[in-house]
């Protein structure tokens, strides 16, 4: 699909940048006139993806996170979140609810949450090279409520 608009961001994997990523995604999506529920879903999915990078990709150091947002034909928002960290040994296993490599304080629900708030979720990863999470969501917007 051809992009009608896009942005690219890059930021350090500091936990304080998670809120920046959420706000940036919401601001970009605003041009599609989403409902508050749609905005909340987008922000939650982005938060999970960025937090995964911070906690799992770079557990012992700072790295970089890239985020690309595109508006595709038909009001589809595509969000890509990328890291160049540890990578995931077994993506299928990592996508299972309650699986985590982040210790007792992590719920292991990140991918499940992303999947539940977005229309599609694709995860590509190579150990030692990093991970790319791509999510899409068709924005029905406020006009659909009228």
Q: Is residue 52 among the annotated active site residues?
A: yes
Domain residues of the chain, as ranges? 3-145
- Whether the predicted pLDDT of 144 surpasses 60: no
Residue 1's pLDDT is 75
What is d(CA 107, CA 114) in angstroms, rounded to the nearest whole number? 13
- pTM for the whole thing? 0.88
3 beta partners:
72
Per-residue pLDDT tens digits for 65-105: 999 999 999 999 999 999 999 998 877 777 776 556 655 55
pLDDT band for 13, please (50, 70, 90 cuts).
Answer: very high
Catalytic residue selected from 38, 48, 78, 115: 48
All residues at 6 or more sequence positions from 27 whose CB lies less than 8 Å from its CB, including other chains: none
Mapped onto helix, strand or coil, the DSSP state of residue 91 is helix
Q: pLDDT for 116-140, tens place per residue?
A: 999 999 999 999 999 999 999 999 9
Q: Is 106 a catalytic residue?
A: yes
48 among known catalytic residues: yes
pLDDT of residue 19: 96
Given the residues 18, 22, 38, 52, the one annotated as active site: 52
Buried b (16+ CB within 10 A) or exposed e, 113-133: bbbebbeebebebeeeebbbb
Q: Does domain 3-145 have CATH number 3.40.800.20?
A: no
Which residue in the list 106, 124, 138, 140 is annotated as catalytic? Answer: 106
Q: Are the CB atoms for 10 and 23 separated by under 8 Å?
A: no
pLDDT at 146: 47
């Amino acid at each position: 699909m051809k992009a009608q608009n896009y942005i690219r961001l890059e930021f350090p994997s500091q936990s304080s940048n998670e809120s920046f990523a959420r706000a940036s995604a919401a601001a970009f999506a605003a041009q599609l006139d989403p409902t508050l529920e749609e905005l909340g879903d987008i922000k939650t999915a982005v938060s999970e993806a960025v937090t995964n990078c911070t906690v799992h990709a770079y557990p012992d150091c700072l790295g970089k996170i890239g985020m690309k947002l595109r508006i595709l034909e038909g009001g589809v928002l595509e969000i890509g979140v990328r890291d160049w960290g540890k990578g995931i040994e077994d993506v299928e296993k990592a996508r299972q609810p309650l699986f985590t490599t982040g210790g007792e304080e992590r719920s292991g629900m990140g991918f499940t949450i992303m999947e539940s708030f977005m229309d599609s979720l694709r995860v590509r990863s190579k150990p030692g090279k990093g991970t790319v999470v791509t999510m899409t969501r068709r924005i029905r917007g406020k006009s659909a409520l009228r």
